Every structure is written in C-alpha cells, then in structure tokens.
Amino acid sequence: MDDPRYVDINIFVYWLGKHPTLGEVALEWIRRIERSPRGSYVTSSLTLYEAL
C-alpha cells in the first residue's frame, strides 16, 4: 500500500459550500476518496471542527 494522501480542509469547504468554480473539482476529489481503498486518504481530526 502506498503512503496515505492528506486531504486538507479546502476540499471539504469547496465541496460543502458549493463553490462556483472549485466545487465541481472538490466533488471529484470526494468521489475519488469514496472509491479508494480504506486508508488511502487521511485528514486531521480538526478538519470537522474547521468545516463547522
């Protein structure tokens, strides 16, 4: 297994906030994360706090 890739808060902010330019790109990232094997992507436990 390769080293996990870190997902920063901006992906979630653009996706959840439906950013007019980057929202679709962020959605593609989210879909890629959902399709990947468990542990391929990681984020900080603070990401949820930052997103709220």
Q: Is the pLDDT of residue 1 over 70?
A: no
Task: For residue 47, give both structure tokens.
Answer: 């990401």
What residues make up the domain containing 35?
5-51
State how many domains the chain has. 1
pLDDT score recorded for residue 37:
94
Q: Are the C-beta atoms of 26 and 11 separated by less than 8 Å?
A: yes
pLDDT score recorded for residue 33:
96
- Alpha carbon 17 to chain centroid, angstroms: 13
pLDDT score recorded for residue 52:
80
pLDDT score recorded for residue 51:
82
- Residues 6-48: tens digit of each pLDDT: 999 999 999 999 999 999 999 999 999 999 999 999 999 899 8
